[in-house]
Structure 1
Amino acid sequence: MKPYYEDDTVQLYLGDMREILPSLAVQADLIVTDPPYAETSLAWDRWPDGWPTLAATVTRSMWCFGSMRMFLDRRDEFADWKLSQDVIWEKHNGTGFAKDRFRRVHEHALHWYRGPWRNTSHDVPRVPSTGGHQGGPASRSTIAHTGTIARQQWTDDGTRLMRSVIKVRSTHHAAIHPTEKPLGILDPLIRYACPEGGLVVDPFTGSGSTLEAARLSGRRAVGIEAHEPYAEAAAERLQQPYLVDLFGGGAA
């Protein structure tokens, strides 16, 4: 099958992922995707039935963006997966269409995996420390609600594990796709679950953000997009070299 766009590290295909993904016969290190939630009347916002089961045939690790309503409504379709954790993307702005609810300024990204956890790539990104904690000898936690947990000896290198709530500016008016994710939220998810040089797949490519983030982090990427206007926009984006500030959320 001929790619819609291709370069040294990225391939982009046009069509329904349920038809294209099996034909590619790829084994990916990671899927990172933002599927249609089926929560609006927009033409492209239609849930492709069975896609999580199909995704499980090509990888053992997946970050999937979605609303809590989406995950609860579709929970049976994730039966092939085990949930590892959730990360919250905190936006600098949000939507406030409903006056009887809190203003929504966040989105969920859930990490799913298959098989033994030890066989799943997981390398938490580290960020500069703002505290004054020092390293110490091995100890055991006595926090009541966690039970007894062994703590290994560690040396303070000036960094800490990245927190599970990550604040990144949304793409706002520069967005190509209405649900486009900024590079700054995609980069740590990719670095966490895909080894350098590995393959990232996004079966709902949209604007191409996942492909761009993967390429910038030294990974390879394959994307699939069902709607040609967005595939065309993603291909145009991928052809344009530019400097980015990953945690600033956009092109320089």
Structure 2
Amino acid sequence: MKPYYEDDSVQLYLGDMREVLPALGLQADLVVADPPYAETSLEWDRWPDGWPALAAAHSRSMWCFGSMRMFLDRAPEFTDWKLSQDVVWEKRNGSGAATDRFRRVHEHALHWYRGQWGDLHHDTPRVAATPEQIARNSSATRTSRPVHYSEFPEPNTWRETGTRLMRSVVQVPSMRGVARHPTEKPVGILDPLIRYACPPGGLVVDPFAGSGSTLDAARLAGRRAIGIEANEPYAEAAARRLDTLVLPLDGGAA
């Protein structure tokens, strides 16, 4: 099968993931999926029946974006997977036209896995500590737990590293106004998910590639990536995006 786009790190295929993924016959370190939620009447917003089981045949680890309604409605299709955790993407800009509910400014990303948890790659996500956090823990006595006690379960065992566990609510502005795709995810929310669940140099598969955000984020993070997109205009937009010069995130701005 010939890729629609290809470079040293990325391949993009045009077609239905239910046909393309089995034909590729691959095993990925991680699937990152942003499927149609099937919550609108838009033509493209159609749930591809059976895709979670198909993804399970090609990876043991998966991040899947979605709404709570989507995951509850489609729960029977995720029986091949075990849920490990959820991350909330706070995107600042609201979505939806309902005026009788709280303004929705978030989406969920759920991490699913198969097999034994200890056999999977999961790199503890850490961020730089603030001066206030460091000061609070520095003032703690050696016989007490620090403020951020969940990282140091036993007294007298913790050491200040200048970092903290990344929070499960991640604030990243949406792509509103600059998006190439109606549901495009910013690289800023994809990057920590990829780094967490895929080892450096590993393979990420996005079965709903859209405008190529996951492929872009994976490449910037030093991972290989394969994407599948059923809509040719979006595949073309992704190809143009991926064909631009990039610099690794670890080495500076891109």
Fold shared by both chains (TM-score > 0.5) = yes
SS at match of 1:174: coil
Q: Say which structure is richer in strand.
A: 1
The one of 204, 207, 231 aligned to 1:203? 207
- How many residues align structurally? 242
Which structure has the highest helix share of the two? 2
Return the alpha-carbon distance in structure 1 between the equivalents of residues 213 and 98 of structure 2.
Answer: 28
Q: Distance in 2 between matches of 1:26 and 1:200?
A: 11
* Equivalent-residue separation in structure 1 for 2:78 and 2:154 (angstroms): 33
2 CA distance for matches of 1:124 and 1:90?
21
In structure 2, distance between residues paired with 1:118 and 1:67: 28
Check if 1:55 corresponds to 2:55: yes
Query: 1:154 deviation in Å?
Result: 2.8
Q: Residues of 1 paired with 2:162 and 2:211: CA distance?
A: 36
- Deviation, structure 1 residue 245: 7.6
Q: TM-score, normalised by structure 1?
A: 0.90
Q: Alpha-carbon deviation of 1:91? A: 1.1
* Aligned-pair CA distance for 1:136: 8.1
Moved over 2 A (4+): 134-140, 149-154, 242-246
Aligned to 2:181: 177
Are the structure 2 counterparts of residues 178 and 128 from structure 1 closer, same or farther at C-alpha, using a change threshold of 3 Å? same
Q: Which residue matches 1:100?
A: 100
Instruction: Write the letter of the residue equivalent to 2:201.
Output: G
Report the AA paired with residue 100 of structure 2: D
Deviations along 1:70-100, one digit per CA (max 9) or x if unpaired, are 0000000000000000000011211251110
Q: Does 1:44 align with 2:44?
A: yes
Does structure 2 conserve the Cα–Cα contact (< 8 Å) formed by 1:138 and 1:151? no
Q: Which residue of 2 aligns with 1:20?
A: 20
Q: Write the distance in 2 (CA, Å) between the matches of 1:206 and 1:40.
A: 17
Check whether the contact 2:220–2:248 (CA below 8 A) recurs between aligned residues: no
Change (3 A) 1:192 1:54: same
Unpaired runs of 5+ residues, structure 1, are 141-145
Q: Deviations over 1:195-223 (max 9, x none)?
A: 00000000000010000000000000000
CA distance in 1, matches of 2:114, 2:158: 30
What fraction of aligned residue pairs are identical, expressed as a percent? 72
What RMSD, in angstroms, separates the aligned Cα atoms of the two structures? 2.4
Q: Match for 1:25: what amino acid?
A: G
Structure 2, gaps ≥5 residues long: none
Q: 1:32 is matched with which residue?
A: 32
- Residues 18 and 54 in structure 1, CA contact (< 8 A), matched pair in contact too: yes
The residue number in structure 2 matching 1:143 is: none
Partner of 2:237: 233
Paired residue type of 1:112: W
TM-score by length of 2: 0.89
Matches within 5 A, 1:127-206: 127-130=127-130, 131=133, 132=135, 133-134=137-138, 150-151=153-154, 153-206=157-210
- The letter for the 2-side match of 1:76 is P
For the residue of structure 1 that corresponds to 2:211, the secondary structure is: coil
Residue 72 of structure 1 aligns to a residue whose secondary structure is helix
